[in-house]
Amino acid sequence: MKEAIKIGLLGSGTVGSGVVRVLRENMEEITARVGTRLVLAKVLVRDVKKPRPYLEGVELTDRVEDILEDDEISIVVEVMGGIKPAKDYMLRALAAGKNVVTANKDVVAQYGHELFDMAEAHDADFRFEASVGGGIPIIMPLKQCLTANRITEIMGIVNGTTNYMLTKMSECGASYDDVLKEAQEKGYAEANPSADVDGLDAARKAAILSSIAFNTRISLDDVSVEGITKITPDDIAYAKNLGYVVKLLAIGKETDEGINVRVHPVFLPEEHPLASVNGVFNAIFVRGNAVGEAMFYGPGAGSLPTASAVVADIIDVARDIVNHSFGRVNCTCYRKKVLCPIEKTRSSYYVRLLVEDKPGVLGAIATAFGNADVSLQSVIQTQRDKKEHAEIVAITHCVPHANILTALDVLNALPVVSEVRNLIRVENDRG
Ligand SMILES: NC(=O)C1=CN([C@@H]2O[C@H](COP(=O)(O)OP(=O)(O)OC[C@H]3O[C@@H](n4cnc5c(N)ncnc54)[C@H](OP(=O)(O)O)[C@@H]3O)[C@@H](O)[C@H]2O)C=CC1
Ligand SMILES: N[C@@H](CC=O)C(=O)O
Ligand code: NA
């Protein structure tokens, strides 16, 4: 058997502790699969005094140099999170010729190219399977198993926290604040959970997935983002009555007008394959010109599921080391493609309005939509709040986003419209 391969772990929180557990519990199989033993040599944490019984016998440090300058460590696993200092540590590790495995979508989405360049320059591996979809294999399947395809669409539920929240709010009418707290307690949420609920976490994943799917660099700034903070129990109830569920989707599409990448809540028909993806589960639906439709499903966050992806990357890198192989798939963004602005994207919409309850209101609203070139598929009216007010819910036909924005301006200016309460896309298109 070859010499043991030494690992330095940066961070030992939710994901890091899972990595330690998987490496320990599956050590026998892992050793057989790699052909040599993997040894967790050192772990970097902020607070070395914090009790961590699962790390008994492992050297803890709060000095990153202890890992980066240790010539015996050949794999550095970054599971600290955030951009600073994680990005710098990874670049330094790669510059020292060490292989890097990370779960950090913040860094990959914004600075992936720098890390890839550094990895290539130093003939090192840079892997990030856990950065999208937690335990679901999706990065390597896109780069390897689906690489024969021209991918036209990638659409997914990629944030476990918000999917958990929307599921609980829909199934048992739980309050937004309570379910967010639960998701945090279960270790799903980011250190600052606004990244989850504001859609940023999903946007980072959308940028990573689209860059790989369309072979062009999509940066976080190219993604149009809207989170779930404006979704109310009323929207969820209307969705149910109309045969939909509310989901936060990450969508990347290549159309004749360019690539559009966006994250926003949608009304999904109950029979859509993504509609039954509940709780912390994620799913990523891919359309390729050879494979047709493929969907990847599994736990999108949490200690052990995420560790499953991290440790798989570690094993792959270790196999490269053992076999002296050069089969690395480096950066796949070899094209520069045009982006399609959000205004040109097309969708049906759900529009909820609070209006004065008096004769002629429905007509005025229909005219306002018509003047903006937005045709309506259905309209329902319910009595709300005070007697003199009613709520109108309209579902539009598929129209350019620019038209719906114009319609909202016109509606807002109508004296009978007291408030535009929400605007949510309706995803009816499966073609
Ligand atoms: N949680 C999840 O389900 C998933 C998380 N991820 C990603 O994995 C990464 C880690 O997430 P998670 O485990 O939840 O985060 P945690 O906050 O639970 O853990 C972070 C760990 O990193 C250490 N750390 C943070 N900053 C520093 C620093 N400056 N110097 C030294 N140590 C530091 C902390 O040390 P100490 O213990 O001393 O505080 C802690 O051990 C993030 O990039 C996240 O986005 C990806 C998929 C799923
Ligand atoms: N906060 C993220 C963790 C995994 O990436 C999520 O909820 O999906
Ligand atoms: Na994954």
Ligand nearest to the CA of 305: 1
360 shares its domain with 384 = yes
Residue whose pair of structure tokens reads 């798939």 in the numeric block: 329
CATH number at residue 415: 3.30.70.260
What is the DSSP code (8-state) at residue 289?
Answer: T
416 is written with which tokens? 């009978």
Question: Is 190 close to ligand 2, i.e. is its CB under 6 Å away?
Answer: yes
Out of 266, 291, 323, a domain closes at: 323
Which residues in 62-165 belong to E strands, given as ranges? 73-78, 99-102, 126-127, 151-157
In terms of phi and psi (left: phi > 0; alpha: psi -120 to 50; beta: otherwise), the region of 205 is: alpha
30 shares its domain with 174 = no
Catalytic residue among 168, 205, 247, 253: 205
ipTM: 0.99
> Is 149 a member of any domain?
yes
230 shares its domain with 164 = yes
Asked if residues 192 and 82 have their Cβ atoms less than 8 Å apart, the reply is no
In terms of phi and psi (left: phi > 0; alpha: psi -120 to 50; beta: otherwise), the region of 213 is: alpha
pLDDT tens digit at each of 431 positions of the chain: 678 999 999 999 999 999 999 999 999 999 999 999 999 999 999 999 999 999 999 999 999 999 999 999 999 999 999 999 999 999 999 999 999 999 999 999 999 999 999 999 999 999 999 999 999 999 999 999 999 999 999 999 999 999 999 999 999 889 999 999 999 999 999 999 999 999 999 999 999 999 999 999 999 999 999 999 999 999 999 999 999 999 999 999 999 999 999 999 999 999 999 999 999 999 999 999 999 999 999 999 999 999 999 999 999 999 999 998 865 788 889 889 999 999 999 999 999 999 999 899 999 999 999 999 999 999 999 876 567 899 999 999 999 999 999 999 999 999 999 999 999 999 976 43
This prediction has a pTM of 0.96
Out of 299, 334, 363, a domain closes at: 299
> Is 335 a member of any domain?
no
111 shares its domain with 14 = yes
> Is 336 a member of any domain?
no
CA distances from 332 to 72, 106, 147, 262 (A): 30, 19, 10, 21
CATH number at residue 49: 3.40.50.720
200 shares its domain with 122 = no
Question: Is 81 close to ligand 2, i.e. is its CB under 6 Å away?
Answer: no
CA distances from 258 to 254, 336, 339, 344, 380 (A): 6, 11, 5, 10, 35
282 shares its domain with 414 = no
CA distances from 299 to 74, 183, 370, 377 (A): 29, 13, 44, 36
Q: Supply the range of the domain harboring residue 380.
A: 342-426
Q: Which residues of 35-48 are buried (b: 16+ CB within 10 A; e: fewer)?
A: ebebebbbbbbeee
Question: Is 160 close to ligand 2, i.e. is its CB under 6 Å away?
Answer: yes
Ligand nearest to the CA of 183: 2
Question: Is 67 close to ligand 1, i.e. is its CB under 6 Å away?
Answer: no
Annotated binding site for L-homoserine: 190
> Is 431 a member of any domain?
no
> Is 337 a member of any domain?
no
Question: Is 46 close to ligand 1, i.e. is its CB under 6 Å away?
Answer: yes
Residue 387, CB-side half-sphere exposure with 13 Å CA sphere: 0
Please state the atom number of ligand 2 nearest to the C-alpha of residue 131. Answer: 5
Question: Is 55 close to ligand 1, i.e. is its CB under 6 Å away?
Answer: no
Please state the atom number of ligand 2 nearest to the C-alpha of residue 301. Answer: 4
Ligand 3 ion: residues within 5 Å (CB): 129, 133, 136, 138, 309
Asked if residues 149 and 195 have their Cβ atoms less than 8 Å apart, the reply is no
> Is 32 a member of any domain?
yes
> Is 198 a member of any domain?
yes
> Is 160 a member of any domain?
yes
Does the annotation count 205 as an active-site position? Answer: yes
The domain tally of the chain equals: 3
CATH number at residue 245: 3.30.360.10
Residue whose pair of structure tokens reads 């080391």 in the numeric block: 321
By DSSP bridging, strand 38-44 and strand 59-61 are parallel
Indicate which residue's Cα is closest to atom 1 of ligand 2. Answer: 189
Using most ligand atoms within 8 A of CB, pick from 185, 188, 200 the residue to mutate for ligand 2: 188
Asked if residues 288 and 150 have their Cβ atoms less than 8 Å apart, the reply is yes
Which residue intervals of 324-360 are DSSP H helices? none
182 shares its domain with 292 = yes
241 is written with which tokens? 């009555």
148 shares its domain with 291 = yes
Ligand nearest to the CA of 161: 2
181 shares its domain with 90 = no
Annotated binding site for NADP(+): 10-17
Indicate which residue's Cα is closest to atom 16 of ligand 1. Answer: 13
